[in-house]
Each structure stands twice: as C-alpha cells, then as structure tokens.
Structure 1
Amino acid sequence: MANFQQQEISIKIESDCFVKPKYEIEAMKKPYHLGPADLIMLSIDPIQKGLLFSLDSTNIIGLDRTTFLSNFVEKLKHSLSIALVHFYPLAGRFSTQKYVNENACSIYVEPNKGPGARFIHATARKFTVSDVISPNDVTIVRSFFDLGEKCLNYDGLTKALLSIQVTELLDGVFIGFSLNHSVVDGTSFVHFVNMFSHIFRNHDDNVIHESKIAKIPRVPIFNYRPWLSHDADNEDVAVLKFPVLDLDKLMSREYNPGPLRERIFHFSHTSMSKLKAKANQECGTENVISSFQSLSSFVWRSITRVRNLAPDQQTSCFFAMGARGRLDPPISDDYFGSFLCKTQYDCKVEELLDNGIGWNATKLHELIKTQDGKSILEFYEEFAKAPLVLPRGLDPKPLGENGVIMGGSARFDMYGSEFGLGRALAIRMGYANKENGKITASAGCQGGGSVDLEICLRPRIMSALEADQEFMSFVS
C-alpha cells in the first residue's frame, strides 16, 4: 500500500478545466432561487461521493490503457456538457442582492455566471483499487474530490457548484463528485449522477449532434415551492431574505472537528434481516420497525456503550431525512433541489443501554412518523419568514460528542451509474461534513439489501467499537 502521508505528491494533475452546457436554454437566463432546505446549508460542506471502478480486459476492449482513458475522459466532458443543459443550475455560481433599506440580502444561482462546472483529470498510479477499497482510514480518498480543496457551500459565489474529478489508479479509476449542498440534497445528487451516466452510455457523438438536447428518462423538475402553494405545479418565485446586509457574518470558517478516525462497516442483507427481526420481536411487532430503524438503533446503542458515558448523561440520535415522499401530496424524486427534514430523539444513557434495540427502535420509529407533510411545511414556512443558516461549530457541546448524527441513505442508487465500466466496486466519500458521531449510509457494495455505514469517531472510541464483540458480530 502506498504511504498516505505522501498523498499530496502522489496526485498529479493532468488537466483542470471548466465545462459549460452544450446549448443555452431560456431558463439559464433567469435567476434560480433557493428554498429553505437549500439556504440552511450555506455554512456547511458540499456533498462528496464517488465511485471506484476497476480497469481490466473486461471493460478496456481493443485499446491500450492510455488511449482508453484519454477517450473516456473526453467523452465524460462531452456528456457533462449535455447533462448541464438539463441540470442547468449546476453550471452557474451564486450571486447576492442587497436590500439596504431592509437591512437584508438574498443569495441565488445565476446559471450563466462563471466558466461552468469544474472537471479535473488526475493520476495517482502509486495507489491500487485495493488501497482505496480498504475500510480503514484511507485518507488519500479526500484528494479524489476537488483535489482535497475545502470550501463551504457559501463559496459558490466564486467556486463551481459542481466539480467532477477523474483519478486514474494503477489498476482502476475513481470518479469523485462534489455538489453544492445548497443546490442539491442527496436525492438530487444521485439523480444528476444517474442521468449523467445515462447520457454517457446511451448517446455517442453522432446521436448527440442529431438532436439539440439528448433525451433523458428522468427530466429534473425545477422551482417547486411547497411553502407557497400546495399545488405541485406551482412556480411562484419568492426571494428569501436574510436579516443582514453581509452574509459573510453568518459563516463559520474556523470549525475544527478534532481528531477523527473514519471507517466503513458493511452490514449484509442477512445481518440487516436479523437486526430487524430482533427489534420487532423485542417490541412485540411484526414488520413495523424497518431494517434501517433497527440498524440505527443498534449502532447508536453500540457507540454509546463503548463511550462509557455516565448513566445520567443525555444522548441523542439526529436524523436528516428526505422530505419528498412525506409531503402532502408527495412529490417524485425528479423534483430538483433540497427537500429535507430533520428530527432528533433524546434519552438518558441508562435508558438506552438498559433496554434492547427494540425499545429504542420503537422510539425512533414513532418520532420519524411525526415528520409528515404538515410539520415539514410548517418548518419551511417559518424559515421563509426568518431565514437562518446552521451555526456550524458554535455549539460548545456538539451533538455527536454524546450522540450520533445519521445521514445518507441506502436507497440511493449510486451503483446504477456505471459509465460504461460495469458495476462500481465501492462508494467512497471525501472530507466533507465529517465530525464525531457522524454516520453516513450508502447501499452496500454487495447489493441485495446490504448497507455500508461510514462512521466517524474519536480514535479511542473507534478502537473500542472495533473491539466490541456484540457490534462486530453483525459486521461482515
């Protein structure tokens, strides 16, 4: 395995450019306004997820490696230019508008501003697929997203809202996507990646030139504002204004999560089924508690146990969840933007540990049920009246120190994006939004209902979790 401390000199930039939409459409000339769940994310990091592929005789056919990769990168750029016609806000930059008389300002996407989406081609041939696929502390992966450069979503004023980095390995390739979390949530992130892959696989150069805009099976739907109207077809424009003239004052750039270890834990379909059966049996129900609620309960309880917290301390489980299916009426995953809701369950450590995962999973299940269309719209409406951003790093006792923060989803079909290379070997994430107690779920690399969890913890606690027999008995 390569020495990860030498990662900076191990990454070589082959090219670093920008890609604009292949064609201009009328919508690109208008401001794209952001909603509550977009704006609240301005002070945190982008979403960063990528796919690891092997390169061998099964997907490099009749070409030498150098020629294949050169063609692959150029076709990716061309396909991206087509994808940006459909997902046009991702080609732009943020702009702000000040309202001096109101002591307020707004921020929005200007689709035609800037040179386009960033596209990086890099090489890291000292590293192999097996290096990257290791579940433990693979810090080199952070350099596979925007070259490891850090930024806040707010920096979309000058930085690309979408960045794609293709990194060649000795025996594979990694495609890393960084998307501004104030423009997309996880659902729209995966929607874009899926459609980008579809264009790559289904539209060669000849077909693209025959039609002004290549068709895609899931066209994004823009400008839905449920906090203004319950009509799913509404396109009312509402400028949400922050009660300051300078948004910089609301941003926190000094946040330091402290020492962390991160590791991928794989839970097979069999383990997921056992946890679900155990939770439902303990609370006397049949298929009421979901597999993911059971897993969340189990992981939260396991981490709390190895932290050796005082029995009377409070511990919390925070969920960030998709809201599209919870709205009334529900909307499809093709609606573009951020439609998120959040909830949190608190209890004493002794309550969590003295009861089984069924008791805790029942509490989580009941809490998640309260996130319905009415409560979500109330949150959006309140935000519209008084916009705010997440006060990152300002809490002297962050939630993750005694609790866990659940994000991501095993339902996201990242593995459906193959880019002509076959099924990816793994999903990996960059530096973004890492903190103590953060747990990010992805579909398992084995498929079939398995789940991969990226868990971030203090080094001592991670070592204790890895040594915990009860926890590791469910890990593959």
Structure 2
Amino acid sequence: MPKKVELISSSLVRGTATAASVSRLELNPWDLRFLPISPIQRGLIFHSPHFQSQQNLIQRLQTSLSRALDFFPPLAGRLAATPHDGDTASFHVDCDNAGAEFTHAVAAAVSISDIIEPTYLPEIVSSLIPINTGVTNYQGISKPLLAVQVTELADGVFIGCAANHAVVDGASFWHFLNSWSEISRGSESISKSPIFDRRNAAAGVDENRLIHIPTLEKNLKAPIPLLQQKLFHFSKETLGQLKAKANSEAGTDKISTLQALMAHLWRSTVRSQTTNNDPTTPVMTIVIGARARMSSFPDGYFGNAICSATLAIGEDELLQEGLGAAALRINEVISEKTDEAIARDAEKKAQLGRMGVGMGGGPPLLVGGSHRFDMYGCDFGWGKPIVVRSGNARKTEGLVVVSPAAEADGIDLEVYFKKKTLRPMEEFLTMLHQ
C-alpha cells in the first residue's frame, strides 16, 4: 500500500515589516534565463524536535519565516510583466508582501530511513517538497515565489522548500534558508544581509535597466519525463585519492577536488553510454558561481550570479588519455571564466534577450549545485539536518547536482539518467583505478 502524505493546512505567510527595504526588483539577464524552467527544490530531513506539541513547532516556523521575509522581501512578492512593442515584455519582482506559501502536512507511515536509505530517490520525496513537475518560474506572476512544506514523519521532520529560480540561484537560496534558521533559533537579526542593488553586479553592465524579451507563453519548456535519480557519495578519503591521481597524471598541483571528481564522473558516464564503435564527442557544461570570480559582485548579492563553462572532448581522447588529462581540461576552461569574460557573457545576454539558453534542455552532461553551499548549517533550533534531498522538478537527462555530504569534506552527487545508463555508471564511478 503506497504511503500517503496528509495535508493539514496551507496558508500565506507575509513579512511583518510595514515597509519593505526594496519595493521593486528588476529581473536582469542573469535572472531572465530561468523563466521557462522550474523552481529550485530542496528538502532537509531532521530528527524529531522536542516540543510540547507539533503545533508549537509549526507556529515557531511560521513566525520565524514571517520575520525572515522582512529581510528578503522579494520572496514574499510576485513577478510582474510590463508589455512593450513588438510582443516583448520586461519583468520585475513586485515586493508587495503577497506572501510565501506555507503548508503543514503529516506522513505518519513514512520514516527517515524510507527516504535516506534507498540509493534511488524514492517517489515519496516528490510529495514532501512543494511545487511539483510542470510548474515554471514564469508562473511566479500568479504563484508564490517561495513555497515551504513542513511534513511530520514517523520519526522526524521534513522541511521542503521551493524558490523561483528567476529570483534566486543556489547561493541566494541557501543564504535565505540559513537566515531563516538563524531567526528560528532566536536571533533578532541575520549574520549576512542580502544586497539587492544590481548596478555594479556585472562589471559595467547596468543590471537595473529594463531588458525586453519575447513574450513567453509559446516558449515555455514542456514537462520533462521523470528519470531515475541516483545518489552517489564520495568520502573525504576517496576524493583525496581522485585529486592526487588527477594531479599526478597531469603533472600539476592546480586541479581541485571537484574538478577531479567531475573528470571521473564524465569518463564514467561516457563509458556507460558507449554502445557501438562510432566515435562521438561528449560535451560537459559546468555551472559556475560568479560571486567569487567578479570583484563587482558583493558576497550577499541576492539574485542569480552564475555563468557556465562548456567543453567537448573526443570520446577516444577522454577515455584513453586518463583522468588527469580530462581534469586538466576542466581546470583550464574554468580558469578562462575571468571577471572580464563573465561580464562580456552577461552583456551578450542583455543584447540578445534570448530565452532557451538556460539549463532546461542542454548538453549531455550538465553539472550544477555546489559542495560549498552551507546546507548543514540550517539548524532551526533542534539540530542540523541529517541529509538534504532534491525534488523532481527541473530534471533532465544528464543533469548532475553537487552537494556537500553530511560528513565533513565529503561530496554527494545526484545524477539523472535512464536506468540503462545508471547501472553501468555505478560500476565505473566506484572504480578509482580506471
């Protein structure tokens, strides 16, 4: 018998401030790319907190969420479109305090082990994170930009969050969640304030100006068929071996842990997909955070600040030249993403105003997320999360989501492929001598 999630209540949570710190936030080229795809979805699993009643838990989370929205007013707003000539429109966030969605649910027959023990993401998780497959960021015109679902499990609590990707990237998403958890722990303020001013966000590109883009109704992405999501865990020790092997083979010391892991993943993926003797040229795109690479981006910048690096290597070269050669190529293409190169990329997007260049349907292997996000710092007052899981929206074949592991210096990968690819991939990924 399938395990069910029972909805208890749903409401809109608004900020408490009488006047928001920002009333209007223009969507810029960094943001507009994400209108046709789905929101960011993440879920945090906790052991059961010790409260006198579950209602006290729900009230505490609602109250702290309301106060957190005072610091992040765009997340309590809605998207708005301004029509222009030539069937174009510009988009902004109206910080009108319309509210974030808050849902309380119960899954009494679902235990923590039901979620974290399977190596394939169990179907129940899609019922624990709001905003399921089929919803796009463009629909933030009428739907909340932030949705939260708190589900009581048999032996724990699952806090699922979905945020409009046209308004936040991964860094901003976790900035908000960490700030909310700070307030839930009793803080009157947050340790890092969000910065909404975008005039200096792209090294000379005025990110506050209106960007006209084609209207989107006919250009939205079709729902993506559900794929198998498999979780791979790499310990600190395993990652150290990969990094040492990659640097030794390449005769360098500049290859990072993640670059070595991405090379290992890429080669394992290509090995598992090779079914004939026809030569191919595998392509990998890596999503890169721009905050640390651009001097004009403040650390607390709120919005999308990501670029991408794409490289292609012949199949024979990728497999025969070894881990070090592939990792060195990845290192080189990422190193090319300088302050100036990222600014030029942003300006091109502003000039073209093109959609469909985001992350909805791209190359065979698309690596996003980051092992540097502070996911396990989200302590709402009863301890840190046990694990973090993703929802099933915004998934396409070849997508890889990088996350920090619960253990120190480990990395988790969530990969989305058909089963026929995943089965041999598992074998290759666990072989460090290849």
TM-score range relative to shorter protein: over 0.9
Q: Which residue of 2 aligns with 1:176?
A: 160
Letter paired with 1:342: S
The farther-off stretch of 408-417 and 300-309 is: 300-309
Cα distance in 2, alignment partners of residues 356 and 238 from structure 1? 47
Q: Does 2:141 align with 1:157?
A: yes
Q: Which residue of 1 aligns with 2:47?
A: 54
For residues 6-155 of structure 1, the aligned pairs below 5 Å read 6-7=2-3, 10-28=4-22, 30-55=23-48, 59-60=49-50, 63=52, 67=53, 69-100=54-85, 103-112=87-96, 115-134=98-117, 135-146=119-130, 148=132, 150-155=134-139
Cα distance in 1, alignment partners of residues 203 and 268 from structure 2? 43
Deviation at 1:179, TM superposition (A): 0.5
Task: Determine if contact 2:32/2:166 at 8 Å carries over to the other structure.
Answer: yes
For residues 23-422 of structure 1, the aligned pairs below 5 Å read 23-28=17-22, 30-55=23-48, 59-60=49-50, 63=52, 67=53, 69-100=54-85, 103-112=87-96, 115-134=98-117, 135-146=119-130, 148=132, 150-203=134-187, 214-226=188-200, 230=204, 237-242=208-213, 244=214, 246-252=215-221, 254-257=222-225, 260-286=227-253, 288-309=254-275, 310=277, 312-327=279-294, 329-390=295-356, 399-400=363-364, 404-422=365-383
Cα distance in 1, alignment partners of residues 320 and 264 from structure 2? 13
Cα distance in 2, alignment partners of residues 434 and 282 from structure 1? 34
In structure 2, do the counterparts of structure 1 residues 394 and 220 end up closer, same or farther at CA, with 3 Å as the change threshold? closer
Deviation at 1:230, TM superposition (A): 4.2
> Percent identity at matched positions?
33
Letter paired with 1:20: R
Deviation at 1:225, TM superposition (A): 3.2
SS of equivalent to 2:316: helix
Task: Determine if contact 1:226/1:377 at 8 Å carries over to the other structure.
Answer: no
For residues 451-466 of structure 1, the aligned pairs below 5 Å read 451-466=411-426
Q: Would you tell me which structure has more helix in proportion to its own residues?
A: 1
Instruction: State the TM-score, normalized to the length of structure 1.
Output: 0.86
SS of equivalent to 2:403: strand
RMSD (Å) for aligned C-alpha atoms: 2.1
Deviation at 1:390, TM superposition (A): 2.0
Deviation at 1:431, TM superposition (A): 1.1
Cα distance in 2, alignment partners of residues 434 and 291 from structure 1? 25
Structure 1's unaligned 5+ residue stretches are 204-213
Cα distance in 1, alignment partners of residues 386 and 413 from structure 2? 15
Cα distance in 1, alignment partners of residues 360 and 383 from structure 2? 44
Deviation at 1:47, TM superposition (A): 0.6
Task: Determine if contact 1:24/1:85 at 8 Å carries over to the other structure.
Answer: no
Structure 2's unaligned 5+ residue stretches are none
Instruction: State the TM-score, normalized to the length of structure 2.
Output: 0.94
Task: Determine if contact 1:43/1:391 at 8 Å carries over to the other structure.
Answer: no
In structure 2, do the counterparts of structure 1 residues 161 and 393 end up closer, same or farther at CA, with 3 Å as the change threshold? closer
Aligned residues: 431
Deviation at 1:382, TM superposition (A): 1.6
Task: Determine if contact 1:319/1:344 at 8 Å carries over to the other structure.
Answer: yes
Task: Determine if contact 1:311/1:350 at 8 Å carries over to the other structure.
Answer: no
Task: Determine if contact 1:276/1:290 at 8 Å carries over to the other structure.
Answer: yes
Deviation at 1:39, TM superposition (A): 0.5
Task: Determine if contact 1:17/1:118 at 8 Å carries over to the other structure.
Answer: yes
Cα distance in 2, alignment partners of residues 391 and 220 from structure 1? 27
* CA deviations over 1:216-257 (Å, ceiling 9, x no partner): 1111011223467649xx8x7311111x3x3312323x2434
